[in-house]
């Protein structure tokens, strides 16, 4: 326990200084008022984006400081964070998850696969991009997108 305490003191703050606020804020998201609870849905991803989402919410990039937080149930969430091309088996669950969200609700498509199926385009098991299944509000490009880009995309929703 003492060693942990020493480690905490030695490490100090690891969060990088906050970059300036992105210029374009989603006007529809103003109702959220700086608080966005997020439910993550893996619609068929290779887990590359998951690793980056993990570090976006880790200490270094600390997405939580802008008011974004991952939650356990879509009922608690304001936004879906969807990764991967939507596979046939995940199309219906994704739709249901979207329906389970209380209004107002948003969808963030993370990664090239979620935007346009990426390398999996036209594959036999893929239904399509996220926007083919549920309406998408924010898209974050990259394969996988860097944590900064994910944080920046989320800040469009939180407005902070």
Partner 1 sequence: MNALGVIGGVLQFVLVVAGSPFLVGVMRQVRARLEGRAGAGIGQPWRDLRKLLRKESITPRGTSEVFRIAPLVLVATTVVVAIVAPFVTTASAVDSVADLFAVVALLALGTVALALAGLDTGTAFGGMGASREMTIIALVEPTLLVSIFALSVRVGSTNLGAIVTSTLQDPARVISPVSLLAAVALVVVIIAETGRLPVDNPSTHLELTMVHEAMILEYAGRDLGLVEWASAMRLTAFLGLLANLFVPWGIATAATPVALLAGVAAFVIKVVLLGVLLSAGEVFLAKLRLFRVPELLAGSFLLSLLAVTASFFLAQPH
Partner 2 sequence: MNLVHAGLGAAVAVGVLSALLALITPRRLRLVPVGVGTVLVGAFGVLAGAVAVAGQAYSVEIPALLPLFGVSFAVDALSGLFLVVTGGVAIAVAVYGIGYARHGLDGRGVQAVLPLFVLAMLLVPAAASVGTFLVCWELMALTSLVLVLAEHQQRDTVAVAGRWYAVMTHLGMVAILIGLLVLVAHSADDSFPALRAAATNLSPVVANVVFVLTLVGFTSKAGILPLHAWLPRAHPEAPSHVSALMSAAMVNLGIYGIARVGFDLLGGGPRWWWLLVLVLGALSAVYGILQAAMSSDLKRLLGNSTTENMGLVLVGVGAAGLFASAGDDVLAGVALSAALLHVINHAAFKTLLFLSAGSVLHATGSRDLDALGGLRAGMPVTTWGFGLGALAASALPPGTAFVSEWLLLQALIHGLPASGAATAIVMPVAVAAVALTAGLAVATFVKAFGVGFLARPRSSAAANATESPVSMLAGMGLAAVACVTLALVPSVVLPAVGSASTMTLGTAQPAVSGQVTLQLNGVAGALSPLLLTVALLVVSVVLVGAVRLIAARRARRTARLWDCGAGPLSPRMEYTATSFAEPLQRVFDDVVQPEQDIDVTHHQESSYLVQAVEYRQRVPDRLERRLYEPVLRLITAWGSVARRLATGSVHRYLGYGFYTVCGLLILLVVIR
Per rule CB under 8 A, is residue 47 in the interface with partner 1? no
Per rule CB under 8 A, is residue 122 in the interface with partner 1? no
CA distances from 108 to 15, 38, 95, 153 (A): 24, 9, 14, 8
The entry of partner 2, partner 1, none near residue 124 (CB within 5 to 8 angstroms by kind) is: none
Per rule CB under 8 A, is residue 34 in the interface with partner 2? no
Nearest distance from residue 53's CB to partner 2, in Å?
19
Contact residues for partner 1, defined by CB under 8 A: 1, 4-5, 8, 11-15, 18, 31-35, 37, 59, 62, 64-67, 69-73, 75-76, 78, 100, 102-104
């Amino acid at each position: 326990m003492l060693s942990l305490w020493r480690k905490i003191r030695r490490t100090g703050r690891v969060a990088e200084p906050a970059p300036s606020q992105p210029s374009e804020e989603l006007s529809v998201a103003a109702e959220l008022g700086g608080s966005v609870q997020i439910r993550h849905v893996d619609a068929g991803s290779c887990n590359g984006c998951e690793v980056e989402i993990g570090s976006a919410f880790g200490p270094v990039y600390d997405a939580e400081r802008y008011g974004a937080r991952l939650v356990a149930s879509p009922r608690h969430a304001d936004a879906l964070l969807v990764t991967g091309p939507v596979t046939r088996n995940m199309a219906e669950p994704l739709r249901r998850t979207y329906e389970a969200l209380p209004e107002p609700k948003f969808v963030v498509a993370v990664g090239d696969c979620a935007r346009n199926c990426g390398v999996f385009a036209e594959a036999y098991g893929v239904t399509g991009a996220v926007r083919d299944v549920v309406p998408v509000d924010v898209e974050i490009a990259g394969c996988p997108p860097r944590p900064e880009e994910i944080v920046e995309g989320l800040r469009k929703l939180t407005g902070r």
